[in-house]
Structure 1
Amino acid sequence: MDSSNFATRPVGLTYKESGVDMEAGDALVERIKPFAKRTLRPGVLAGLGGFGGLFEVPKKYREPVLVSGTDGVGTKLKLAFQLHRHETIGQDLVAMSVNDILAQGAEPLFFLDYFACGKLDVETAATVVNGIATGCELAGCALIGGETAEMPEMYPAGEYDLAGFAVGAVEKSKIIDGHTIAAGDVVIGLASSGIHSNGYSLVRRIIQHAQPDLASRLDGRTLADALMAPTRIYVKPVLALLEKMAINGIAHITGGGLLENIPRMLADSLCAELDHRAWPLPPLFSWLAEHGGVADDEMHRVFNCGIGMVLVVSAASAQAALAQLSAAGETAWCIGTIRARAEGEAQTIVV
């Protein structure tokens, strides 16, 4: 065999020399297998390792409709990098998708993640995926696959990006789309755990402006802890409530806050009138408003302001709903009512 051509080739041009460490990728897969195993549930036919995750739709559904959602964590990641906090950002990722599909009455079945970085740090990535598994456990869904992409020069050193994908199922006759909401219904607000994963571009601008000590105390914890509190996952208590009573509408309070998310479940003829005195504004939001000089309307449009999910039920069911949610560990309040909407009026009014 003539090897003269090989002799003239440059030395060291390997995938690893180009910045992609396949051994690190393999090591990460082994690290995260136990995390995925924690999330197994009936229906999983094949999980990590194959070209695709396999999941059988539960037989309890007569006419199953699949509901899908995808999201990321946004610039909350920037704060995670700054504070070197990667433990809970995975729960944020899961929450953003499973809470979305819950809004249509769907039970989350499985989740997949996408982790992209410039250079793979196995320890950091494993910490993030462990948080994703925790989120899946809280939502009752299985982590059956994902993708880790090491892309040199695409991301600054020490940074990464995340995306998540959830698939759930709902009985066709039980899809929640808001069509049964009527004037006189009661709006129930479920407490958020903090900022969740929306509005962090403004949060970071306020921090840059105020230059606070992130180790200072706010409402019994450090400011850093308050800012990084993971997004609350509402799946199990809300699905349990659905087994007991009709919920006419559900809104996940994400980007757009109360003002823009509640109208997504309302007919054009209806309006939600909220009483801002019906629930306490958490100290973190007061801190943001004060240090950023943020107007009330802007606060309600950007942040959840203490309400992470909204349910609409009949007036006759409201107290029973509150009691069951409280027994399940949720903090919830009647925060408003549904009424007819006047011409040209906004669909969410905070008074």
Structure 2
Amino acid sequence: MEKMTYRDAGVDIDAGNKSVSLIKDCVRATYRPEVLGDLGGFGGLFALNMKDYEEPVLVSGTDGVGTKLCLAFMLNRHDTIGQDAVAMCVNDILVQGAEPLFFLDYLAVGKLLPQQVAEVVTGVANACRESGCALIGGETAEMAGFYPAGEYDIAGFSVGIVERSKLITSDRVRAGDVLLGLPSSGVHSNGYSLVRKICFECMGFNGGEYVEELGGTLGEELLTPTRLYPRVCLPLIRSFDIHGMVHITGGGFYENIPRALPENMGAEIDASAWEMPAIFRLLQKWGNVDRTEMYRTFNMGIGMVLIVSPGEAERIAARLAEERERVYRIGHVTEGAHEVVVRGGVFDA
């Protein structure tokens, strides 16, 4: 009987080694002073700096990218997906006041293509560097027969730190507090099962169509990576009294905002306070999607919400204006039912 190798079973160790060689420089570029060791260990090492904290609290989060990956496969573009994986984790821990410290990724592939892996992980590393966190480890698993060749899944895990007195919960939220919205970069990474059904099943698009309202192709718009909010929000958390924060992800306005509110409070949103990006108008029109369904599925152009007192709202808006960052006063906290009411805003008929 002819001798068999792991490669005969569909797993190429040499390709894995080549992938590591392609990504090692961009990974090292993310390292903070607290990182110990280098690539190749069984675990990532991070020496926690305790001297700057009286009561440090670690905050962790994990997430994936979801069916947005199907677009990356369809368009054979893999340089943006890594940022999505990072953003979904670091934005989530940020809303509790945490500074992201480090990130680990898990990439599972059907067939290990070193250049494809390098594109994905380079996107992860660039996003980590932008967020100020170190990429201290990861796993690339070649799972022959489990994923079709050329396809993969990616998930991530992030850990951050916050002083206990600065931990953001719903405890300080009060009726009358103002909701400040920071713009999204587009659809981000939620609602793509509906996006794909509308665009590719119902409309028959292939992603390469130039859409005048978007100023580019549909595929380019839909693969725009999720915005990273730590750089903008961490200075605000340190300088102002932030009562609450909301990362608008799956569940849109109706499901996410109540998570940052006490049980006896709700919120009223004025959807006319910001200009809805064209992609959401198009999705609603192409799919004949109900208004409520839009606001409970998509971010509608607002990716992060700060809940602050009216006085702080003015000061925060002024600070963001100095930094040339857009911010919108999108609503306020109400007393009573634990629900969100969205008013205003216009959809195309």
The alignment status of 1:145 with 2:137, answered yes or no, reads: yes
Partner SS, residue 201 of structure 1: helix
Runs of 4+ with deviation above 4 angstroms: none
Is 2:186 the counterpart of 1:194?
yes
User: What TM-score results when the alignment is normalised by the length of structure 1?
Assistant: 0.94
1:204 partnered with 2:204? no
Q: Which residue of 1 aligns with 2:91?
A: 99
> Which residue number corresponds to residue 346 of structure 2?
none
Letter in 1 for 2:118: A
Cα shift at 1:279: 0.9
SS of residue matched to 1:246: coil
- The 3-state SS of whatever aligns with 2:296 is helix
Whether 1:310 and 2:294 are equivalent positions in the alignment is: no
Percentage of identical aligned residues = 54
Matched, 1:272 2:267: yes
Equivalent position of 1:227 in the other structure: 222
Contact 1:189/1:311, CA 8 A, preserved across alignment: yes
Q: CA deviation at 1:57?
A: 1.4
User: Comparing 51-60 with 299-308, which one deviates more in the overlay?
Assistant: 51-60
**Structure 1 CA distance, aligned partners of 2:183 and 2:276?**
10
2:232 pairs with 1:237:
yes
Q: CA 1:62–1:233 in 2, change beyond 3 Å: closer, same or farther?
A: same
**Correspondence 1:46 to 2:42:** no
Structure 2 residues not aligned, in runs of 5+: 344-349
1:76 and 1:281 mapped to 2: Cα distance? 21
Task: State the partner residue of 2:210.
Answer: 216
- State the alpha-carbon separation in 1 of the partners of residues 218 and 317 from structure 2: 30
Taking the TM superposition and a 5 Å limit, the aligned residue runs for 1:107-146 are 107-146=99-138
Q: How does 1:1-351 map to 2 (within 5 A)?
A: 10-58=1-49, 59-207=51-199, 208-212=201-205, 214=207, 215-217=209-211, 218-341=213-336, 345-351=337-343
Larger radius of gyration: 1
Which amino acid is the alignment partner of residue 210 of structure 2? S
Local SS of the residue matching 1:17: helix
Say which SS state the counterpart of residue 102 (structure 2) adopts.
strand
Code of the aligned partner of 2:136:
I
Query: Number of residue pairs matched?
Result: 339
- Mapped to 2, the partners of 1:66 and 1:303 lie a distance apart of 29
> Would you say the 8 A contact 1:114–1:147 is kept in 2?
yes
Q: State the AA in 1 paired with 2:219.
A: A
Q: Give the secondary structure class of the aligned counterpart of 2:40.
A: coil
The 8 Å contact of residues 210 and 291 in structure 1, kept in 2 or not, is answered as yes
Give the Cα separation in 2 of the matches to 1:197 and 1:213: 19
> What is the one-letter code of the residue matched to 2:5?
T
Report SS of the residue matched to 2:8.
coil
User: How many angstroms does 1:47 deviate by?
Assistant: 3.7
Q: Give the secondary structure class of the aligned counterpart of 1:75.
A: helix
Q: Could you list the per-position Cα deviations for residues 25-58 of structure 1 after superposition, in whole angstroms to 9, with x for gaps in the alignment?
A: 1111111110111111121112421110010112
Could you tell me how far 1:237 is from its partner in structure 2? 1.1
Which deviations, in whole Å up to 9, do the C-alpha atoms of 1:238-286 show, x marking residues without a partner?
1011122111000100000011000001001111100111111110000
Asked whether the 8 Å contact 2:263–2:338 carries over to 1, the reply is no
For residues 259 and 233 of structure 2, what CA distance do their matches in structure 1 show?
Answer: 19
Q: Take 1:288 and 1:329, find their aligned partners in 2: how far apart are those partners?
A: 29
Distance in structure 2 (CA, Å) of the matches to 1:135 and 1:63: 28
Task: Determine the C-alpha separation between the residues in 1 that align with 2:114 and 2:173.
Answer: 48
Deviations 1:139-192 (A, max 9, x none): 100000000000100001210000100000011111101210101110001100
Cα shift readout 1:214-240 (whole Å, capped 9, x = no counterpart) = 331333222211111100000011101
TM-score by length of 2: 0.95
Q: Given the superposition, is the C-alpha separation of residues 346 and 267 from structure 1 closer, same or farther in structure 2, using an over 3 Å criterion? A: closer
After superposition, give the CA deviation of every residue in 1:82-135 in whole Å (9 maximum; x if it has no partner): 011101100000000000000100000000000001110000000000000111
5+ residue gaps, structure 1, are 1-9
Q: Secondary structure at the match of 1:71?
A: strand
